[in-house]
Structure 1
Amino acid sequence: MTTTTSVYHAGSRAVQDRVGVRGAADHVGRSVGQGIKPVAAAFLQLQPLLVVGAAAPETGRVWVTPLTGDPGFVRATGPREMSLAGTPRPGDPLAHALASEGTRVGTIALDPRTRRRMRLNGRSRPTPGGFAVEADRVFSNCPKYLQKRESWETVTDRVPGPARHTRRLTDAQRAFIESADTFFVATVHKDGAEVSHRGGNPGFVRTVSPAELTWPDYPGNAMFLTLGNLTADPRAGLLFLDWTTGTTLQLTGEAHTDFAPDGERRVRFAVTEAVHTERALPLRWSAPAYSPANPTPPG
C-alpha cells in the first residue's frame, strides 16, 4: 500500500513545509498507487510518445529521452508492468541505461489532444525489442500549463540528423529554448527517478548565458517531487522538442531553486552537456492553444 510517507521523502517535505502546503500534499499523495488501473492502461495504449528519464550508469548524469511509435507501442502488460516496443536511438544518452536490468526510471505519457498526463516510475528491465518498467508509483497530474494540440501525424519520410554534442548552448539553441511552450525535466533521489512536465507561454524559459537557463516554478499540485529531489541531489536533465519538426534538445546538468521573499520560486539550471538532434522524432503535431492557466512572462 502506498502512503504519503512513502510518496514523499525529506526533500519534498522540506519544500512543502517551506511553502506551507503539507496538508494539500498529503491529500494529493493519496492518489498515488502502484497499480495501473484500467483507465490508465487504456490511456497508455493510445499514446505515440513516452518521455523517460534516468541517470546514465556510465557517467551518473541525468538525461531525458523521448520514445515514439504507433499507438500501442507502450502498453500495460500486467497490474504493475508497462512495456515498450522500441528503444532509444543508438548513441542516445540513455540507450545503455534502458538496456540494463534494474535502472530506476521515471516516465510521463502526455496527450496534448486531451491535456491529460500520466506518470509511472519504477525499475526497468530489457525485453526482446524494447524494455519494461515494473511500477513503484503511478499517478496522474492535472492539465494545468499543458498546451492543447488537436492532432498529430507520423511523417514517414523524416530522416533524423546526427546528434550534435556541445558543452555550451549555441545562439540557435538559446533561441529554440526561449521559443518553447513545453519542456520535460528529470530528477533523481536515492529510491528512484521522476519526470515532470513544465509549460507556459513562449518566453517562460530564459537563457541567462550559454551555460545557464532559468524558469519560474508556477503553482502546481503541492507535491513538490521535482523541487524536493533537487534539494537532495541537484542533478537534472531537460528535454525540449519542436512539436512540428521533431527536433530535440537534451540537456544535462545541475539545478537549484531560488525562493524569493514574495513567494516566487525560480529554478536555475547549469548546463554540463547538450545533445541537439534535428528531426529526431517522426511526429508532427498541430499548432498549440495555450493553457488559460499560463501566466504572461515578463517582458
Structure 2
Amino acid sequence: MNEPRKQPDLARITAEINTGAPESRSETFRTAWNDLRKGFQQRELWLALGWQDIKQRYRRSTLGPLWITVATGVMALALGLLYSMLFQQDLRQFLPHVAVGLIIWGFIAGCIKEGAEVFIANEGLIKQLPSALSVHVYRLVWKQFLFLLHNLVIWLVLLAIFRPALGWNVLLVVPAMALILLNGVWVSMLFGIISTRFRDVAPLLDSLVQLAFYMTPIVWTTKTLETQGGEVAQRAKLAEINPLYHYLEIVRAPMIGEEVAAYHWFIVLACTAVGLLLAVLAMRKWRFRVSYWV
C-alpha cells in the first residue's frame, strides 16, 4: 500500500516548473548564464531523474547497478594483466593505473557520447516541460557521476590488496573531481546543441572517442616509452598534446599515490575556461532553437 516517494516528488516538482513564468528569449550572455543557474536550482528534478535512469536501466536485474562495477572491474583486470606482461610492468603499480584510468575514462566518454544526444533523447521533456535547457545536461552528468561512484569500489578493492602509500596528496582528488564534473557540463551542453542541429556529429564523436582511448595513456604509460630512450622517448612527448591525458592525470595520480605536476592543472584549467566560454556562446546563440531541432 505504501507508494514510493520518488514519483509524487517528481510530479510535484514538474508541476511547479510548469506553473513558472516563461523565460525571455533574448540572445544575451545573461540569459545563457541564467539558464545554467536556473537549471542548477532545479536540482530536485535532475537528481530524481538521474537516479531514475539508473534504476530503469537495471530494472529486474539481480545485481542491479553493481553490473557497472563488475563490467569495469573485469575489463580492468583483463587489460591490466595483458599489458603488464606485454610491457613487462609491475602489476602492483600497473593494475591501479589501468583501473583508475578506466574509471575516469568511463565518465569522460559517457559525457561526450551521451552528451551528443542529450537533447535528442529528451525530446518529449523538452517539448512538454518548460524547464531550463541545462536541466537535461545536469541530469546526464549526475547519472555519469553515479556510474563513477559505483566504479570507485574497484579502487577501494585495489587499495585493500596492494596498499599503496597514499599521503595528503590524495585530497587533490576532490578539486580534480569538481573540475571533471564542470567539464562534463560544458562538454554535454556544447556537443548536445551542435549534434541536435547536425545529426552526423554524434556518430563522428563516437568514433573519435574510441580513437582517443588508444591515444590516451590508459592501458599504457608515458614512463614505459620514456625508459626506452631514443626516438621512442621523444614520441612519448606527443601524449602531452592530448588534453584528455591531463584530465586523467590530475585525478588518477593522487589516487594511486603519485605526484601531479603543476602544468597538468594549468592545462586543465585553461581547457575548462575555453570550453565554458564556447558552451555559453552556443547557448546564447542557439539554445532556444533546440526545441525546434529535436
Answer 1 or 2: which has greater helix percent: 2
Relative contact order, CA 8 A, sep 6+: which one is greater? 2
User: So what's the TM-score if we normalise by structure 1?
Assistant: 0.28
Bigger-Rg structure (1/2) = 2
